[in-house]
Chain A
């Protein structure tokens, strides 16, 4: 966990920055003026410093110059941020030795994003060290998305012999817990409303254990009065990826802006559809929405789920309409309902059924494509 020092004489801004950065999973130390900031730096070495310019005892420029004179501080990432927003202010900050300059008109989310950039947490190399995330998505309800996500999570945990985290991102009344036969006491909103910053160890305290090795982060039963901010959801995803080799996300049918923003960060988007016209129309719209969210065609894995015994539209028509090859076709299984009703997953309840085998193959396909 990176350690960030914030130096600002404005208590309100210190509190807001501290809150935002802790939420994003960073350890934060604050100083209310330049001399105090320098004193802290002489005892601990932060990974990054954020300092204001307009401070009465010592300006941010002077703080930067003195910091750079300290042994070992020559190249420490230092962001100067200020209400002085003229180009000359940026130039003066960089001349004094700052690594980056940010105006205070930026939102906390944008600042967190800059911090990540400077710490190299958004580089391809850093991303490669994180686990893979497979998000299951459909704009239409009733296509069997949650049951597919749950069964793929179990199949993955079994086939890869590693714990898999399943996160139910539905804002409320998600069914993943029910399908796994778990009664989670905490959920995603509990994590987000916790005073502790989101991190791997904090997340683990809120996960429900399933016998298969799946760790469930459930959705709340009832709506929360506050919705999750983008950087909060992002912090959860980052923490999941740092803790688990594989994570599955069960996305809501109507994704909010926070969910849409994180889509570009997932490894694969499993676009689930059933063989009927409304579902096909939703799949076309869903694919367009994903493209707008920055997802490439290679990242989208359309899966045709036969959730009823009726034959419906053919595989060929579907592929031609959505202009993407199907990653898998899951046959109808009459026993799926019984498995859900008993809180047992089909892949454990009846592992030899054609549906279970198709789900297991899908899990393997996702892993292979990721590698």
Chain B
């Protein structure tokens, strides 16, 4: 058991917009953060113990707030502390038809690279179609800020907002 898991049912993660980083906790209520983000019934995400930083100086904390609401469409991606926190039930239990592709994505202000696990046939359009999931998990993800390339973020899982994707490409080797 890691220390961060003791405070169930909350999960602390980094939420990114084009201009800010919010380190905050989400009350999970027996759900995974992916499920809460993908919940189509609401565009609001209630967060608590919020620590705000500007994207050009992401180590410095500008302000802290006990509670706040984030608008999901403005989140570009979320960095999770462990891989298990980012797996949806679909990804967790489907082991036979899964394949992995190295991908490169651009978002407003960010370039993201990492691994995408695909269930079934590779179809870029189908992956980006919102369907039931608004956020897709990118494993071993690395995010570079396009305006300040020295500013980078990484994590075992980055949940990328499909609506914010500008370019989506698969890296082909050899």
Contact = CB atoms under 8 A, between A and B. Distances in A.
A250 interface: no
A107 B2 contact: yes
Contact of B23 (A61, A83, A91): A83
B81 A111 contact: no
Contact of A85 (B64, B66, B155): B155
Contacts of B7: 10, 12-13
A56 B48 CA distance: 11
A81 B4 CA distance: 11
Contacts of B81: 83, 85, 103-105
Given A83-B12, A105-B81, A105-B82, A88 B3 contact: no
Interface residues of A, number: 28
A91 B60 CA distance: 11
B59 A89 contact: yes
B2 A104 contact: yes
Contact of B3 (A53, A61, A87, A111): A111
Contact of B151 (A88, A89, A92, A108): A88
Given A88-B59, A88-B151, A104 B3 contact: yes
Interface in A76-105: 81, 83-89, 91-92, 95, 103-105
A12 B61 CA distance: 24
Interface in A115-174: none
A92 to B, nearest CB: 3
A105 B64 contact: no
Contacts of A61: 60-61
A86 B14 contact: yes
Interface in A2-18: 10, 12-13, 16-17
A16 B23 contact: no
A87 B154 contact: yes
A59 interface: yes
B59 A105 contact: no
Interface residues on B, range: 20 to 34
A95 B60 CA distance: 11
Nearest to B23: A84
B144 to A, nearest CB: 13
Contacts of B61: 53, 59, 61
B18 interface: no
B153 A86 contact: yes
Nearest to A57: B64
Interface string B125-151: 000000000000000000000000001
B109 interface: no
Interface string A1-44: 00000000010110011000000000000000000000000000
Interface of B: 1-4, 6-7, 12, 14, 23, 25, 49, 51, 58-61, 64, 66, 79, 81-82, 151-155
24 contacts: A12-B6, A13-B3, A53-B61, A54-B64, A56-B64, A59-B64, A61-B61, A83-B4, A83-B23, A85-B81, A86-B58, A86-B155, A88-B58, A88-B59, A88-B151, A88-B152, A89-B59, A103-B81, A104-B2, A104-B3, A104-B4, A104-B81, A105-B4, A107-B3
Given A53-B61, A83-B23, 13 more contacts: A10-B7, A54-B12, A54-B51, A54-B64, A83-B81, A86-B79, A87-B152, A92-B59, A104-B3, A105-B2, A105-B4, A105-B82, A106-B2
**Pairs A-B, 6 closest by C-beta atoms:** A92-B59, A83-B12, A104-B4, A88-B59, A104-B3, A105-B2
